[in-house]
A and B are shown apart, each in its own frame.
Chain A
Amino acid sequence: MSFFDYPNVRVARRTMLLRSGAVLSGAAVALLAGRDVLAATAGDAAAGDIRILNTALGAEYEAIAAYQVGAESGLLQKPVLDLAVTFQGHHKEHADVLSKTVHKLGGSPVTAKTKYDFPVATLKTQADVLNFAATLEKGAVSAYLGAVPLFANRDLAKAGASILGDEAMHWAILRQALGMPPVPVAFMS
């Protein structure tokens, strides 16, 4: 059943959020397993993993803010608006888990900025907003793809790959909403 097949968008959003929570719990288990599991990464390796997680966390906060700009722009029509809010919810879940994991590793999670620069002057239509979101999501796929091999802790790499998969789904659905081939290539880079 797709997002667009539910009787109303509220039911669709609630159902999808619940489902996404269930899916993400797999990654969360790995990340939130506890200090003993994460303690397998120590010293410089842990410091490196904390840097990776914090960079990802900073980008997740920016994505949350970007979707907020889109949601408040008045340019998104239902059900696309609800889809954007759903995706923003995913990024909030990513950020929450990343932040808690940095803390568990003994690091200091970065915090969201008070202000972000976005190309708001160029956002004049729903398609502009969707294109902007798709650009960020594609970049996020590449960013996680570039980060996953760097983790010293393989559980963290697995969790990063789980988030990568979520970002890829966002990108594909945004492209579909724009009338573009949702999955244009067999491999991402």
Chain B
Amino acid sequence: MSINIAALAACMLFAAGARTDALAAPAGNATRGAEIYTRCEACHALEYSRTGPKHCGVIGRKSGSVPGFDYSPAMKRARLTWDETTLDRFLADPLKLVPGTTMTYSGIPDPQERADLIAYLRDAGKSPACR
């Protein structure tokens, strides 16, 4: 039954001209995302900037805007707002979205892993560590 409802919803969205990638975006699991975040911890932390900028408050933040962090010229020019969509695109291939970024990382190809990581970043932003 749930499959039929999902199929119906998909048809309605197609009929409305919705973007297919919105349908494809999986729901994120913050617990799994916490484990994926360990891949980031050579360069990043939630509460403070390191080789990369801090992640507390990243959801909704303008790119290149953490005070005191020495961003690349490319990131300073990027003029992005980090939300689920832009983070998903950046995490998939950082250098494709922001050529010249110093986040020289090939990316996370699995959409589910990206969604999980973004869910973790969203939840972590509300945690005591980030208040």
* Interface residues of chain A: helix, strand, loop or mixed (majority): helix
* Interface residues of chain B: helix, strand, loop or mixed (majority): loop
Q: In the assembled complex, how far is the CB of residue A52 from the closest CB belonging to chain B, in whole angstroms?
A: 4
Contact residues, A128-184 vs B (CB, 8 A): 135-136, 138-143, 146-147, 149-150
Contact residues, B10-58 vs A (CB, 8 A): 38-43, 45, 47-51
Once the chains are docked, how many angstroms separate the CA of A42 from the CA of B43? 27
**Are A55 and B51 neighbours in the complex by a CB distance under 8 Å?**
yes
Q: In the assembled complex, how far is the CB of residue B38 from the closest CB belonging to chain A, in whole angstroms?
A: 6
Contact residues, A80-135 vs B (CB, 8 A): 116-117, 119, 135
The winner among B51, B100, B105 for most chain A CB atoms within 10 A is B51
Once the chains are docked, how many angstroms separate the CA of A62 from the CA of B105? 18
Q: In the assembled complex, how far is the CB of residue B46 from the closest CB belonging to chain A, in whole angstroms?
A: 10
A146-B102 contact in complex given A59-B51, A189-B39, C-beta closer than 8 Å: no
How many residues of A are in contact with the other chain, CB < 8 A?
A: 26
| A41 on the B face (CB < 8 A) | no
B residues in contact with A138, CB < 8 Å: 38-39, 41-42
| B95 on the A face (CB < 8 A) | yes
How many residues of B are in contact with the other chain, CB < 8 A?
A: 21
| B86 on the A face (CB < 8 A) | no
The winner among B40, B42, B95, B106 for most chain A CB atoms within 10 A is B42
**Are B39 and A52 neighbours in the complex by a CB distance under 8 Å?**
no
B residues in contact with A139, CB < 8 Å: 38-43
| A58 on the B face (CB < 8 A) | yes
B residues with a Cβ closer than 8 A to A are 38-43, 45, 47-51, 72, 95, 100, 102-107
16 A–B contacts, CB within 8 A, in A order: A51-B102, A52-B104, A55-B43, A55-B51, A58-B43, A63-B42, A135-B38, A136-B41, A139-B39, A139-B41, A139-B43, A143-B43, A146-B106, A147-B104, A149-B106, A150-B105
